[in-house]
Structure 1
Amino acid sequence: MKYFFTLVIAILFFSAVSAQKLNIQFTLEKAIQQSVKTDKPILLIVSVPHMNAPLTSNGTKINFSSAIDDAEITEAINENFIAYKTIMSDTSIRSIMSKSAINSFPAYIFLRSNKEVFFKDYGNSTSKQRYLYMIENALKALKEKPISELEREYLANKSDNQLLKNLIDAKKKLGQNDNAELIEDYVKSLKIEDFNNYQTVLYILEAGPYTDGNAFKFAHTNRKIIDSIYRREPFAKRSAFNNFIINNTMSDAIKAKNLIKAQSAASFTRGTWTNDYMKGAKAYDTQMMRYYLAVKDTARYLQTATYHYDNYYMRIGADSIKKIEASDLKAMEKRGLPASLSQNIVLKDKMDSLMKAKGTNVITRSVVAVGPTSSSYANELNNAAYKFYETGTKNINHLTKAMIWSRRSIELNPISGYYDTLAHILYRLEYYEEAIKNQQLAIEKSKAENRDVKHLQEELKKMKARQI
């Protein structure tokens, strides 16, 4: 009898545990097959590769726990979605990530069975309600017309601007801001007087028109409205549509290998710094370097980058750089950027984040965001040095330049990733012992930063064996 009772308890316990386990598919293909079979949408959960919980300045571990593992949330996901859990480097999701403009993690991407995104969210939270709200919003979004259907409706009747507007609006809602071609079509049916309407001009700018296209030109015919938009709209909105304009134009320039179009995008970028000539010039160079790298014009890239980093980064002392960065941070806050930009969104060299809500219940939300920092001289110099290394150049002058930039980045901020960059450059220069020494330093720093050191250790083995 005792055995039977124990067995019943064990079965009940196993059933309870099983009911709380997230049903995860092993591949995206399997998830799609299950989605078609069950008529359930897919929830793609994308995180960064494994890393240990980083520490705050006072030595406290960042809380990466998540209420998404709660039994109620798990049950809701299993009931409504087919789940596929993976990491950001998974090549099977690359096109989805690119089209959805995902750069914050963990990301929750909701897909139809044809891989079309219909909702997305990101970030860890210890609040169960936050995930229930996410699921509720995703299910509401599922009932809306798919973008593919909106595209078919528009293509069947291209003279109907309302259908085109519906399509643009739906894409914008999902964070798909590659609408330059669509906005070109949109302005074709507008009248001259329409460009004297504030909301119409704003709508065109928010679509990210090509800087050399008709939509951009027509939107700028009434200078008073343009000036009013840039004066009245919040900084975050202005910055966003400027970036859409720049990225759409540059992406099209790269696709077509159109140097003149790339220069147009770079010139617009420079113009956004109306009151700061130096930052405008830096921004121009940055965009052109982006173009040269993308079209594999290595010679022009190396030439432009050498001037750019020597002129704008190496002529300034470490103390002056710290003052500039502090000043830039204050300026960003004055422009209306959220406080979390500098405190909670973590970029490349930190990779951790923490947000605490006020009140008796403390809610922790952690986010990992991937993207360039705007004011980190050390990060810029490190990235420039590593890009020189990545070009494969063996030119001693270029490698020496990269080594100097790398050493300066370490002087400004001695973190593990920067020592790793220096080690690889020294290895390429055939300073093998010094390379090994710096790679060992990278490992020591990484351990102190509470990061995974496996990759760094593998690189060290290759250096010792002369196999890089």
Structure 2
Amino acid sequence: MKNLIALACALFVACTSGLAQELKTSKSLKTAFEQSSLSKKPVLLIINVSGISRPANLPSNVKVNFKSALEEPEVTNRINENFIVYKTTMTDTSIRSIIRAANVKSFPAFVFLHSNKDIFFKDFGNSTDQKKYISMVNNALLAAKEESISDLETKYNADKSNNVWLKKLIDTRKKLGITNNAQLIEQYANNLKIGDFNDYQNVLYILEAGPYSDGSAYKLAYTNRKIIDSLYRTELPQKRSAINNAIISNTIADAAKNKNTPRALSAANFARNTWTKNYTQGEKVYYTQILWYYSTVKDTTSYVRTASYFYDNFYMNISADSIKKIEAKDREALTQKHIASSPHKNTISKQKLDSLQKIKGAKVITQSFVSVGSPSNSYANELNNAAWKFYEIGTKNLNYLSKAMIWSRRSIELNPIPGYYDTLAHILYRLGYIEEAIKTQEMAIDKAKIEKTATANLESELKKIKAKTL
């Protein structure tokens, strides 16, 4: 409830009501791997989204059917013959490491693993065409015969100067969507000769691996500026963006892991420099990276000091009305972008749904739906999250708490939802304004009841506020 983050990615979701009856599924991930080891069959991990509800604003006479071709006999037979299946949802804690390792971001996801937990293939998405799943199974079976990541790591560790095996290891990881190959590319670059950095493809390969922005591989790749300039001028924008994002995320992640502040600053500076034509946005992404680092390494002093400057200067120096106009425009642009780029023709447009409401007795069956954007307000989310963070870290500094209260009030002004009132109530309590905290928490509960969302936690917090035991 406290950390309300806007979700702007489009997910295709599949109904699982009849799936368990068709596929032979293991009772747990542990059991699946045990059965895999005994049967010599790989594991197919099917990850669905939990709690899929009817899309909002659909007319009552419109029926939504999430039937998937995964339920077709030919598909289920092929899967049962060749794999041990474990079917679960993204909230299953036993699969967190796999989701992280496989870089799973779209659902339903299909992750194929050897019995030693090595990931060798993945796919995602719902479809009414069984050819998609037959093709997925065939490609997974082919991938299962190739050398696994563990096999390639063994060969690499036996001879780290052998770039043939090292490149194959990096390529295998990249094929699976693993973008953090910074440590491996350091070794790869160190194994090259200085003349190799005059080769366009070598430089591109190094950058695509997401090298540390302060590492040797990155510095060596930049020894020939003509190649760098050519690369950023000729490669597609999507590839250039992917390169920059990998460099930033790998560098800042390693900095946090090792509490390496100079490396974190390097990542933040790199992120800022990717916005050469927009100084303000560059500054914003710089501080976003630094704040994430301070928060992750639990440097509270640096975090609250930096956050105070950041949110005051980037979120509070513009009026609420202006923010609402900006975000309305951004949401419309995002919606149009997703609609234009979606290859799935069985998604119903809003205009079509509106017209269906006027037809008595009309029924529509759809096979999948796309959720575009979010009703949440990103400025409000950011301010609410920042305010809650100040409360959560336990600061009793009146200056910082006052800032948090102001940010929280602005988030409510932008988007008055229960969770934001809950945040404000907690901050008011910390400041000693008990009566106002009670009234604010009661407003959170009233809002939740109107929205028909759960109130148990809000009511529990209200009791604590009244009893002064929060």
TM-score (norm 1): 0.81
Q: Which residue of 1 aligns with 2:41?
A: 40
For 1:245 and 1:77, how far apart are their aligned partners in 2? 38
**Aligned to 1:305, which of 299, 304, 307?**
307
Q: Using the TM superposition, name which of 200-209 and 406-415 deviates more.
A: 406-415
Q: Which residue of 2 aligns with 1:170?
A: 172
In structure 1, what is the Cα distance between the partners aligned to 2:277 and 2:109?
Answer: 37
1:287 CA drift (Å): 0.6
SS of equivalent residue, structure 2 residue 41:
coil
Contact 2:419–2:444 (8 Å) recurs in 1: no
Seen in structure 2, the aligned counterparts of structure 1 residues 440 and 64 have a Cα distance that, compared at 3 Å, is farther
Relative to 1, partners in 2 of residues 1:63 and 1:50: Cα closer, same or farther, differing over 3 Å? same
The match for 1:30 is 31
**1:357 to 1:207, Cα distance in 2 relative to 1, 3 A:** farther
Aligned-CA RMSD value: 3.5
Partners of 1:301 and 1:62 in 2: CA distance: 49
Out of 102-111 and 66-75, give the one that drifted further: 66-75
Q: Does 1:276 align with 2:278?
A: yes
Instruction: Specify which of 359, 364, 370 is matched with residue 368 of structure 2.
Output: 364
Q: Is the 8 A contact 1:354 1:366 kept in 2?
A: no
Aligned AA (1:55) = A
Question: Which of 99, 120, 123 is the matching residue for 2:122?
Answer: 120
Change (3 A) 1:138 1:365: farther
Q: Is the 8 A contact 1:415 1:445 kept in 2?
A: no
Per-residue displacement from partner, 1:296-323 (whole Å, max 9, x unpaired)? 0011111111110110011111332245
Find the aligned partners of 2:380 and 2:284 in 1 and give their Cα distance: 16
Alignment check: 8 A CA contact 2:384 2:411 kept: yes
CA 328–205 in structure 1, closer or farther in 2 if over 3 Å, else same:
farther
Q: Any idea what SS the aligned residue of 1:221 has?
A: coil
The residue type equivalent to 2:393 in the other structure is: T
Distance 2:57 2:418 in 1: 17
Match of 1:228 in 2: 230
Q: Which amino acid aligns with 1:23?
A: K
Q: Unaligned 5+ residue runs, structure 2?
A: 1-17, 350-364
| More moved, 184-193 vs 198-207 | 184-193
1:378/1:408 contact within 8 Å kept: yes
Please state how far the C-alpha of 1:103 moved relative to its aligned partner.
2.7
- The answer as to whether partners of 1:20 and 1:75 remain within 8 angstroms in 2 is no
Q: What is the SS of the residue equivalent to 1:46?
A: strand
| 1:37 CA displacement | 1.8
2:48 is aligned with what amino acid?
Answer: S
1:387 corresponds to 2:389: yes
Aligned pairs, number: 430
Write the letter of the residue equivalent to 2:265: Q
Q: Secondary structure at the residue paired with 2:220?
A: helix
8 Å Cα contact 1:53-1:62 kept in structure 2: no
Q: Which amino acid aligns with 1:433?
A: I
Aligned-partner Cα distance in 2 for 1:415–1:57: 23
Cα deviation for residue 390 of structure 1 reads 2.9
Q: How has the CA–CA distance of structure 1 residues 417 and 83 changed in structure 2, closer, same or farther, with 3 Å as cutoff?
A: farther
Q: Deviations along 1:345-387, whole A, 9 cap, x unmatched?
A: xxxxxxxx997399xx9653547999xx9x9322322322232
Relative contact order, CA 8 A, sep 6+: which one is greater? 2
Residue in structure 2 matched with residue 216 of structure 1 by the alignment: 218
CA contact (8 A) 1:105 1:368 kept: no
Matches of 1:270 and 1:59, distance apart in 2:
49
Alpha-carbon distance change, 465 to 376 in structure 1, aligned in 2, over 3 angstroms: closer
Residues 403-412 or 161-170, more deviating: 403-412
Amino acid at match of 2:32: A
Equivalent residues of 1:68, 1:128 under 8 A apart: yes
Counterpart secondary structure, 2:160: coil
Cα distance between partner residues in 1 of 2:202 and 2:135: 33
Where do 5+ consecutive residues of structure 1 fail to align? 1-16, 345-352, 448-452
Kindly indicate whether the alpha-carbon contact (under 8 Å) linking 2:425 and 2:438 is maintained by their aligned counterparts in 1: no
1:401 to 382, 396, 403: 403
Partner of 1:443: 448
Answer with 64-73 or 22-31: which moved more.
Answer: 64-73
Q: Percent identity?
A: 52
Alpha-carbon distance, 1:393 to partner: 3.2
Aligned equivalent of 2:338: 340
Out of 263-272 and 20-29, give the one that drifted further.
20-29
Indicate conservation of the 8 Å contact 2:160/2:166, yes or no: yes
**In structure 1, how many angstroms separate the alpha carbons of the residues matched to 2:428 and 2:339?**
34
Distance across 1 between alignment mates of 2:384 and 2:340: 20
Q: Is the 8 A contact 2:291 2:303 kept in 1?
A: yes
Provide TM-score, normalisation by structure 2: 0.80
The answer (yes or no) to whether the contact 2:70–2:133 under 8 Å persists in 1 is no
1:86 Cα deviation after fit: 2.5
Q: How big is the shift at 1:231?
A: 1.8
The match for 1:347 is: none
Separation in 1 of the partners of 2:132 and 2:429?
48
CA displacement, residues 91-134 of structure 1 (integer Å, 9 cap, x when unaligned): 22222222222233332222111111111223334443333333
CA contact 1:104–1:367 (8 Å) conserved in 2 = no
Distance 1:400 1:28 in 2: 48
How big is the shift at 1:23?
A: 2.3
Q: Find the aligned partners of 1:153 and 1:320 in 2 and give their Cα distance.
A: 58
Equivalent-residue separation in structure 2 for 1:461 and 1:342 (angstroms): 45
User: Contact between 1:68 and 1:74, CA under 8 Å: does it hold in 2?
Assistant: no
Distance 1:18 1:327 in 2: 41
Aligned with 1:110: secondary structure? strand
Cα deviation, 1:180-232, whole Å, max 9, x if unaligned, reads 11111111222222222221111111000011111100111112221222222
